[in-house]
């Protein structure tokens, strides 16, 4: 495997957690860092590079507690929690009750606890270095520290579409390990480590009315923690229910608000009309409407991407679109940009819940299923097969390994199943196909679904698939000068939505009933009346035509082809025909994401965050 030294520079935000062990001193000496927090012993505990407003730290005797990420000015509570720590497990309550999105790192009596969130936005990785376990928030940091090589099998698995659970939890480097969201890593004084779940999804027992009251509170808190610092914040205002709700909640906070709208290019797009309707009811909010023709198309700027990411991401396709507003909003004074991303994943839920409801409550489920069939134009035979499929998750995953080259399944099969069945495209080489199938079979031997029922599993899987993309977009946006946040993806918001009975969250008769009920009285009724959302299919098709030469350039000296994972000739032949019917779907996304990521590893930068600089 060739060496890839072009990882991001040491100025990128990162942190590394070291054990209270002599070996930690040697690890720290090999890391280029600007910030250090210490154990009572004087040894380094937390090192890295971070801004003052992104960390809250408290010390009490031998206890150390740090929250890294979006958190309000709650220093007093954190100090109290540090003062009454009797063990690392005593922090479970704190982790389950704080609003915001953050990493939690704690130390007591030489032991250290490291965790991210349950959503998957704040990830934790670990590796053995000098005989001890070292943790970090980025996989590439540990890969550079250990000299780990890329794992071609895992890259082949990321060419799957979609990538099923639990494959996303495996880093791209050998001997670097990921901690599953909702799980903590405990490092002992001698450098040994173990993991333990600290979060489990709630039982869906709440009524819609009770859940709406709860959601109104927790979503309001999630927005408030972002506006409490005052100044100016910006919010997406697409006119959809999700972004509109965030804008109205932000307007009730302590910051000046700029609402940002990019109109779609499609003449049938109704976003601008709905956004203006909402802005008219927000007199204290500045409404910035950007020219539709200036919005970058899908696939724009692929050859210019140089973001230091630690895994491939299909978010590469929309990077230019996501960041296009950043200079304009920074010029308006915005210190933070809030999105409505995640609302689709938490305020709604998977129709797969009706697979179980059909067995438990057939009189309720049957009319709803007929409604979904009409709404989504599901064909009867595939729908019946999906409802009759009772395979457990491991069996479904193992079976998928033998079906990677089959034609795509009907949409209803994935909608009512564990997930959409993963597929490989015809430009993926036989060797890569064998590797991806092997990774799937290995995972199937021990894989557990994210929840016992396929509906609850599908909900959590959709959330975590989303957060893997948003995690990268947040890093890109912060690097471009404007930190980004998505309040719907806070743990408190997610678990509040998951606690509501699924048959009340998703029906064919009502659009996002939980969010509508929660926002009643905060968002005007006329703005809650929208029952659809815009599609970006026209922008994607236009992007293929406008940027197909850039796509062709990706395959001229393809890194994936160098590794023997794709047939570059087939990719060139396909992308030379941007109007090809098969390209109307997102079939290129996983391949482009892997290719751009590998190219970035080759860029002439220094090393991964924290690795010692050469010379």
- pLDDT-based confidence at residue 226 (cuts at 50, 70, 90): very high
Q: Confirm whether 9 is domain-assigned.
A: no
Collapsing DSSP states into helix, strand and coil, what is residue 69? Answer: strand
Distance CA 252, CA 224 (A): 8
Average pLDDT value for residue range 269-278: 92
The answer, yes or no, to whether residue 376 has pLDDT greater than 60, is yes
pLDDT tens track for 136-175:
999 999 999 999 999 999 999 999 999 999 999 999 999 9
Residue 422 contacts residue 164 (beta carbons within 8 Å): yes
Q: Would you state the pLDDT for residue 53?
A: 86
Specify whether 375 is located in the same domain as 427: yes
Specify whether 39 is located in the same domain as 154: yes
Tell me the percentage of the chain whose pLDDT exceeds 90. Answer: 83
Which residue segment(s) compose the domain that 42 sits in?
Answer: 14-197
Q: Confirm whether 6 is domain-assigned.
A: no
Specify whether 165 is located in the same domain as 275: no
Bridge-based pairing of strands 111-115 and 183-187 is antiparallel
The answer, yes or no, to whether residue 261 has pLDDT greater than 50, is yes
The answer, yes or no, to whether residue 613 has pLDDT greater than 50, is no
- pLDDT-based confidence at residue 606 (cuts at 50, 70, 90): very low
Give the end of a domain, one of 520, 535, 550.
535
Q: Which of 272, 278, 267, 506 is nearest to 376 (CA)?
A: 506
Q: Which of 408, 402, 393 is nearest to 437 (CA)?
A: 402
Q: Would you state the pLDDT for residue 560?
A: 98
Specify whether 542 is located in the same domain as 529: no
Specify whether 429 is located in the same domain as 468: no
Residue 11 has what DSSP assignment?
A: T
Q: Cis omega before residue 561 (within 30°)?
A: no
3-state secondary structure 179-202: ECCCEEEEECCCCCEEEEECCCCC
Specify whether 182 is located in the same domain as 225: no
Q: Confirm whether 1 is domain-assigned.
A: no
- pLDDT-based confidence at residue 614 (cuts at 50, 70, 90): very low
Residue written as tokens 């489920």? 365
Specify whether 304 is located in the same domain as 381: no
Q: Which helix (H) or strand (E) holds 178?
A: strand 177-179
Q: Would you state the pLDDT for residue 59?
A: 94
Give the end of a domain, one of 478, 510, 535.
535
Neighbouring C-alpha atoms within 13 Å toward the C-beta of 552: 11
Distance CA 488, CA 500 (A): 15
Specify whether 442 is located in the same domain as 561: no
The answer, yes or no, to whether residue 3 has pLDDT greater than 50, is no
pLDDT tens track for 275-285:
999 999 999 99
Q: Confirm whether 614 is domain-assigned.
A: no
- Structurally, the chain folds into a number of domains equal to 4
Angle of CA points 288, 290, 293, to nearest 5°: 170
For 60, 114, 183, 413, 606, the CA distances from 193, given in Å and listed in that order, are 24, 11, 13, 40, 30
- pLDDT-based confidence at residue 12 (cuts at 50, 70, 90): confident
pLDDT tens track for 45-86:
999 999 988 899 999 999 999 999 866 556 788 999 999 999
Q: Would you state the pLDDT for residue 41?
A: 93
Distance CA 61, CA 82 (A): 9
Specify whether 63 is located in the same domain as 159: yes
Give the end of a domain, one of 484, 509, 535.
535
Residue predicted with more confidence, 505 or 536? 505
Specify whether 35 is located in the same domain as 153: yes
Q: Confirm whether 352 is domain-assigned.
A: no
pLDDT tens track for 578-601:
888 888 788 999 999 999 999 999
Bridge-based pairing of strands 35-38 and 14-17 is unpaired
Average pLDDT value for residue range 29-53: 92
The answer, yes or no, to whether residue 300 has pLDDT greater than 90, is yes
Q: Would you state the pLDDT for residue 536?
A: 58
The answer, yes or no, to whether residue 501 has pLDDT greater than 60, is yes
pLDDT tens track for 108-133:
999 999 999 999 999 999 999 999 99
Specify whether 486 is located in the same domain as 569: no
Residue 208 contacts residue 231 (beta carbons within 8 Å): no
Distance CA 265, CA 316 (A): 21
Q: Quickly count: other Cβ atoms within 10 Å of residue 507's Cβ.
A: 17
**Residue 76 belongs to domain with CATH number:** 3.60.20.10
Average pLDDT value for residue range 384-407: 97
Q: Confirm whether 4 is domain-assigned.
A: no
Q: Would you state the pLDDT for residue 7?
A: 41
Specify whether 154 is located in the same domain as 24: yes
Q: Would you state the pLDDT for residue 605?
A: 53
Average pLDDT value for residue range 161-190: 96
Least confidently predicted of 217-226, 310-319, 357-366, 581-590 = 581-590
Average pLDDT value for residue range 352-362: 97
For 19, 70, 116, 447, the CA distances from 104, given in Å and listed in that order, are 15, 11, 6, 26
Least confidently predicted of 266-270, 359-363, 529-533, 562-566 = 266-270
Q: Confirm whether 399 is domain-assigned.
A: yes
- pLDDT-based confidence at residue 535 (cuts at 50, 70, 90): low
Q: Would you state the pLDDT for residue 198?
A: 97
Q: Would you state the pLDDT for residue 532?
A: 75
The answer, yes or no, to whether residue 5 has pLDDT greater than 70, is no
Q: Confirm whether 353 is domain-assigned.
A: no
């Amino acid at each position: 495997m060739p060496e890839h030294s072009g990882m991001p520079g040491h100025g990128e935000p990162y942190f590394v957690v070291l054990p209270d062990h002599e070996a930690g001193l040697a690890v720290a000496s090999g890391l280029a860092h600007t910030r250090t927090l210490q154990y009572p012993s004087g040894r380094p505990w937390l090192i890295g590079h971070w801004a003052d407003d992104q960390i809250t730290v408290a010390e009490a005797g031998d206890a150390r507690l740090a929250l890294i990420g979006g958190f309000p000015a709650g220093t007093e509570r954190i100090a109290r929690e540090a003062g009454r720590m009797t063990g690392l497990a005593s922090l479970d309550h704190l982790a389950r009750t704080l609003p915001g999105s953050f990493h939690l790192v704690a130390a007591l009596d030489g032991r250290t606890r490291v965790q991210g969130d349950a959503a998957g936005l704040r990830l934790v990785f670990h590796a053995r270095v000098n005989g001890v376990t070292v943790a970090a928030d980025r996989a590439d940091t540990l890969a550079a520290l250990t000299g780990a090589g890329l794992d071609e099998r895992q890259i082949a698995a990321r060419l799957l579409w979609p990538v099923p659970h639990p494959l996303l939890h495996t880093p791209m480097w050998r001997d670097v390990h990921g901690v599953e969201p909702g799980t903590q890593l405990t490092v002992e004084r001698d450098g040994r480590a173990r993991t333990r779940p600290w979060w489990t999804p709630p039982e869906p027992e709440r009524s819609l009315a009770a859940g709406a009251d709860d959601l109104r509170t927790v979503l309001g808190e999630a927005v408030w923690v972002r506006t409490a610092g005052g100044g100016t914040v910006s919010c997406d205002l697409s006119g959809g229910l999700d972004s509109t709700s965030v804008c109205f909640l932000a307007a009730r906070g302590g910051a000046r608000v700029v609402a940002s709208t990019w109109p779609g290019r499609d003449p049938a797009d109704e976003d601008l009309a709905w956004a203006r309707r909402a802005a008219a009811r927000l007199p204290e909010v500045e409404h910035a409407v950007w020219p539709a023709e200036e919005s970058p198309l899908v696939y724009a700027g692929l050859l210019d991407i140089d973001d230091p990411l630690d895994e491939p991401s299909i978010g590469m396709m929309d990077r230019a679109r996501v960041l296009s507003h950043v200079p304009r909003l920074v010029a308006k004074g915005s210190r933070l940009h809030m999105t409505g991303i995640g609302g689709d994943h938490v305020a709604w839920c998977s129709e797969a819940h009706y697979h179980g409801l059909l067995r438990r409550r057939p009189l309720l489920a049957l009319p709803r299923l007929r409604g979904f069939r009409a709404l989504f134009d599901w064909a009867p035979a595939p729908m019946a097969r999906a409802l009759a499929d009772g395979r457990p998750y491991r069996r479904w995953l193992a079976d998928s390994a033998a079906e990677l080259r089959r034609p795509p399944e009907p949409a209803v099969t994935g909608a009512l199943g564990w997930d959409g069945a993963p597929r490989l495209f015809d430009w993926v080489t036989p060797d890569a196909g064998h590797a991806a199938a092997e990774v799937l079979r290995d995972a199937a031997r021990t894989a557990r679904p994210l929840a016992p029922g396929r509906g609850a599993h599908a909900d959590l899987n959709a959330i975590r698939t989303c957060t893997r993309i948003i995690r990268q977009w947040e890093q890109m946006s912060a690097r471009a000068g404007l930190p980004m946040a998505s309040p719907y993806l806070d743990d408190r918001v997610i678990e509040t939505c998951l606690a509501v009975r699924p048959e009340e969250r998703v029906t064919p008769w009502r659009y996002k009933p939980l969010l509508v009920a929660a926002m009643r009285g905060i968002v005007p009724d006329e703005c809650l009346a929208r029952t659809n959302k815009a599609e970006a299919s026209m922008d994607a098709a236009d992007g293929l035509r406008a940027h197909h030469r850039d796509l062709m350039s990706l395959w001229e000296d393809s890194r994936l082809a160098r590794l023997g994972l794709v047939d570059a000739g087939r990719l060139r032949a396909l992308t030379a025909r941007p109007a090809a019917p098969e390209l109307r779907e997102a079939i290129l996304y996983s391949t482009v994401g892997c290719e751009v990521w590998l190219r970035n590893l080759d860029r002439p930068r220094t090393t991964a965050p924290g690795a010692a600089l050469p010379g």
